[in-house]
């Protein structure tokens, strides 16, 4: 059956429940996903004095063809974006600065080191987001940065974050869309601490210094990201969820939830509605943990669908900022971007094609049998036909056809890289 014919039949099924499928697709096309650049080069970055990956982060695999310079990384991102429906954003780390061969320490990086990224984003109609890089550096070797007891080291990282906020504001000014500048730190201890409070007092003071200067939120949105544990910080992490949630609420900052940064049985989807009660906006890094914060490629699983449902059913598409964060070097890196991002968009479409208002009413009226029956039946409604039509309409490959383009690109481009 032709894609349009299958779509028209599916549309009839959804319209019986009052779902305007055309309006859904129009809305979906406006929702940006922030695609993380670091999947493309295994979080190596382009610093002249490049350091070994550290901070409890590990990238495994040696699939050939990774990007080794800014031009290759942007080229690979362009390829991935050509296979993903919609207009999106690209998320950068500070280590992706371009300094023309000059050693520039992170505490003195400037907007000029990201001019090429901004010009590229303008050319392709993309927004940019930013992250200071508080890992893979000699001054982070002992696992402490913004909570470090050495004031000189702590000041270095404070200055780095201050510089990063200015770069985020530069992105927002130049591109006409605010950058999310997100702070994540690896700080913690491998074994049981004798004092949990003092490092957190130092972290709080560091954040107060970093955010002392007001920046117009039309240009930059500050976010802070928690973590449960990491390699080398198994017993204690300074920037816990409770710490950052409290700080964000008190200081009007975005609390960023990474789906891999919680206990194995703890779900981010269950937190969204509570946090939206007290925050105007919140941010997500969608990943896929496998037994730990392993940052696997996002798949179309139950938790991803539940995250999308919580955003959609709570009318929060304009309040939840969606970014991705995974890194897999065991498979084609462009395919990883494509799979993960298409699945995030697919989950949003799935959630928008559920009769959420009717299901809410059934719950309020105590009709739990009907609620469960309908929730289950909609799992097999012809959602795939709508997705295929959306991809065709947006000018990207339908179904697995995108994989052929990846293989052609791999043979023509990636295989020739050292």
For residues 86 and 214, state if they share a domain: yes
The CATH number of whichever domain residue 242 belongs to comes to: 3.20.20.150
The span from the CA of 184 to the CA of 135, in Å, is: 9
The span from the CA of 297 to the CA of 337, in Å, is: 8
For residues 261 and 366, state if they share a domain: no
Q: Which of 352, 372, 387 is the last residue of a domain?
A: 352
For residues 250 and 319, state if they share a domain: yes
Q: Which of 352, 368, 386 is the last residue of a domain?
A: 352
Tens digits of pLDDT across the chain (418 residues) = 699 999 999 999 999 999 999 999 999 999 999 999 999 998 888 987 877 767 667 777 789 999 999 999 999 999 999 999 999 999 999 999 999 989 989 999 999 999 999 999 999 999 999 999 999 899 999 999 999 999 999 999 999 999 999 999 999 999 999 999 999 999 999 999 999 999 999 999 999 999 999 999 999 999 999 999 888 888 999 999 999 999 999 999 999 999 999 998 999 999 999 999 999 999 999 999 998 888 899 999 999 999 999 999 999 999 999 999 999 999 999 999 999 999 999 999 999 999 999 999 999 999 999 999 999 999 999 999 999 999 999 999 999 999 999 999 999 999 999 7
For residues 229 and 364, state if they share a domain: no
Q: Write the CA distances from 33 to 54, 85, 396, integer angstroms.
A: 27, 11, 16
Q: Which of 352, 370, 403 is the last residue of a domain?
A: 352
Domain extent for 6: 1-30+355-418
For residues 304 and 385, state if they share a domain: no
Using alpha carbons only, what angle is made at residue 29 by residues 28 and 33, rounded to the nearest 5 degrees? 80
The span from the CA of 305 to the CA of 145, in Å, is: 35
Query: 48-95: per-residue pLDDT in tens?
Result: 787 776 766 777 778 999 999 999 999 999 999 999 999 999 999 999
Residue 91 and residue 33 in contact, taking contact as beta carbons nearer than 8 Å = no
For residues 53 and 108, state if they share a domain: yes
For residues 47 and 110, state if they share a domain: yes
Structure-block tokens of residue 369: 């049998």
For residues 221 and 178, state if they share a domain: yes
**Structural domains counted in the chain:** 2
Q: Catalytic residues, which ones?
A: 184, 225, 227, 258, 261, 285, 293, 295, 325
Structure-block tokens of residue 65: 């063809």
Residue 404 and residue 332 in contact, taking contact as beta carbons nearer than 8 Å = no
Supply the pLDDT for residue 53: 66
Residue 115 and residue 77 in contact, taking contact as beta carbons nearer than 8 Å = no
For residues 269 and 133, state if they share a domain: yes
For residues 97 and 237, state if they share a domain: yes
For residues 110 and 242, state if they share a domain: yes
For residues 196 and 247, state if they share a domain: yes
Distance of CA 134 to the CA centre of its chain: 17
Distance of CA 340 to the CA centre of its chain: 10
């Amino acid at each position: 059956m032709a894609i349009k014919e299958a779509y028209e039949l599916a549309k009839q099924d959804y319209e019986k429940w009052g779902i305007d499928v055309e309006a859904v697709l129009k809305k979906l096309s406006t929702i940006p996903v922030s695609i993380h650049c670091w999947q493309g080069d295994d979080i190596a970055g382009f610093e002249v004095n490049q350091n070994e990956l550290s901070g409890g982060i590990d990238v495994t695999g040696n699939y050939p063809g990774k990007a080794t310079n800014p031009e290759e990384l942007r080229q690979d991102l362009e390829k991935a974006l050509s296979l993903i429906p919609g207009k999106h954003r690209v998320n950068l780390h500070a280590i992706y600065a371009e300094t023309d061969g000059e050693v520039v320490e992170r505490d003195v990086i400037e907007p000029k080191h990201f001019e090429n990224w901004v010009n590229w984003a303008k050319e392709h109609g993309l927004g940019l987001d930013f992250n200071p890089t508080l890992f893979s550096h000699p001054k982070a070797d002992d696992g402490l940065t913004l909570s470090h007891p050495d004031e000189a080291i702590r000041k270095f990282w404070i200055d780095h974050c201050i510089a990063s906020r200015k770069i985020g504001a530069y992105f927002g000014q130049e591109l006409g869309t605010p950058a999310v500048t997100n702070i994540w730190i690896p700080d913690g201890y491998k074994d049981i601490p004798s004092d949990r409070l003092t490092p957190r007092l130092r972290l709080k003071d560091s954040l107060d210094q970093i955010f002392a200067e007001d920046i117009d939120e039309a240009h930059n949105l500050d976010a802070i990201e928690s973590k449960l544990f990491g390699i080398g910080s198994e017993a204690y992490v300074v920037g816990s969820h409770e710490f950052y949630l409290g700080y964000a609420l008190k200081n009007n900052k975005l609390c960023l939830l990474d789906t891999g940064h919680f206990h194995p049985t703890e779900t981010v989807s269950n937190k969204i509605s509570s946090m939206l009660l007290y925050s105007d906006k919140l941010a997500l890094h969608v990943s896929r943990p496998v037994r730990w914060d392993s940052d696997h490629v996002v798949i179309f699983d139950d938790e991803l669908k539940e995250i999308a449902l919580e955003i959609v059913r709570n009318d929060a598409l304009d309040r939840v900022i969606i970014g991705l964060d995974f890194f897999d070097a065991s498979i084609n890196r462009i395919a990883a971007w494509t799979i993960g991002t298409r699945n995030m968009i697919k989950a949003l479409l799935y959630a928008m094609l559920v009769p959420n208002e009717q299901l809410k009413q059934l719950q309020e009226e105590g009709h739990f049998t009907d609620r469960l029956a309908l929730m289950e039946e909609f799992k097999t409604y012809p959602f795939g036909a709508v997705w295929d039509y959306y991809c065709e309409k947006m000018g990207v490959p339908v179904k697995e056809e995108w994989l052929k383009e990846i293989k052609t690109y791999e043979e023509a481009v990636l295989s020739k890289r050292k």
